[in-house]
């Protein structure tokens, strides 16, 4: 098993590469190697998994459990490794966050995290339970904090009051959160970011020429476009991203990612999805996007002003595009 970084400090958005030390101990064997050699390795090392290669390409893994099961059914160590390896191997990019890895694995039938770098080289292996155990003590404060956010919003009120609060923080047309909810969550996440070094980004976008859509086709068609666009965006983002109707045809998304280019890729994906979609009413709709980073101690007004400038640039530079303003 890979050595774990000694100076580990994680949040749910930490890239999985951060959990492995640079001096890892992943062992690789060619697929033609006899099981005897792998068995000898397991008996003399604390590892519980090895990577199987074919012409330098990762094609499978063998765990200590696999080896024991194989010996139980057939006491023959002269067979090649490829006969008992598990394949294909599900690998994870070293840039993926811990939250995304765990979310992916919650729907999978494997429990080994095989992390690879940009050159497709394995940098570490860990099982899901070990990752959860490793992160538990550091992620618990985050979970508790967000749990407290929810309770502060709900106010531990009765059913009727919670219903009223939901109405007050939900956009009645699209069903997503409204500006009031966004403001509450923004400041809660700002506080979280100061304590746990979480990187936040704000993505603001609106529908190009939306006024002419309403003027030409009527508000019923305009409302249909807003609801259909909302559904498209929801399918393009994570459940952890905060998607809000800011007002009219303008929307915002609060995201946690390790770097701005990741957010730009998300924005571009959303832009293309909307651009290529055939809407049920007027067929073609486009959106312009402005993105900015969020810094500790900033007010929402400062962040919105910067995102607005980026969005304005997208408008005057041709619309249906994404622009970024970090400072």
Q: Which residues are catalytic?
A: 249
The tokens for 219 are 């508000």
Q: Of 195, 191, 189, nearest to 252 (Cα)?
A: 189
How wide is the angle at C-alpha 24 spanned by C-alphas 197 and 83, nearest 5°? Answer: 125
Give the helix ranges, DSSP H, for 208-253: 210-217, 219-236
For residues 75 and 286, give the distance between their C-alpha atoms in angstroms, rounded to a whole number.
64
d(CA 103, CA 175): 24
Give the C-alpha separation, 133 to 90, whole Å.
21
Instruction: Enumerate the β-bridge partners of residue 293.
Output: 201
Helix (H, G, I), strand (E, B) or coil at 251: strand
Cβ atoms of 101 and 113 closer than 8 Å: yes
Residue of 1, 89, 96, 20 whose CA lies nearest to 52: 89
């Amino acid at each position: 098993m890979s050595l774990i970084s000694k100076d580990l400090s994680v949040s749910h958005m930490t890239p999985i590469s951060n959990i492995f030390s640079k001096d890892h101990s992943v062992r690789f064997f060619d697929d033609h190697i006899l099981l005897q050699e792998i068995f000898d390795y397991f008996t003399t090392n604390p590892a519980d998994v090895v990577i199987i290669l074919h012409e330098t390409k990762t094609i499978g893994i063998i765990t200590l459990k696999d080896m024991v099961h194989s010996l139980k059914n057939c006491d023959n160590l002269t067979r090649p490794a490829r006969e008992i390896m598990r394949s294909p191997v599900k690998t994870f990019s070293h840039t993926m966050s811990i939250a995304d890895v765990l979310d992916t694995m919650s729907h999978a039938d494997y429990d080994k995290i095989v992390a690879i770098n940009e050159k497709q080289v394995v940098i570490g292996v860990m099982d899901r339970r070990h990752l959860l155990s490793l992160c538990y003590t550091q992620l618990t404060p985050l979970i508790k904090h967000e749990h407290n956010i929810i309770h502060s919003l709900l106010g531990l009120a009765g059913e009727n009051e919670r219903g009223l609060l939901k109405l007050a923080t939900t956009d009645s047309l699209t069903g997503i959160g409204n500006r009031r909810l966004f403001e509450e969550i923004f400041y809660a996440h700002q506080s979280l970011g100061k304590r746990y070094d979480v990187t936040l980004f704000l993505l603001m976008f609106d529908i190009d020429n939306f006024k002419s859509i309403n003027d030409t086709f009527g508000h019923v068609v305009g409302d249909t476009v807003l609801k259909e666009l909302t559904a498209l965006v929801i399918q393009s983002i994570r459940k952890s991203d905060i998607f809000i109707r800011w007002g009219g045809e303008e929307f915002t998304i609060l995201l946690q990612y390790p770097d701005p280019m990741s957010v730009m890729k998300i924005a571009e994906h959303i832009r293309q999805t909307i651009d290529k979609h055939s809407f049920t009413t007027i067929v073609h709709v486009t959106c312009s996007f402005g993105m900015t980073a969020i810094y500790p101690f900033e007010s929402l007004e400062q962040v919105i002003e910067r995102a607005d400038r980026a969005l304005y640039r997208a408008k005057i530079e041709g619309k249906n595009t994404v622009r970024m303003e970090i400072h």
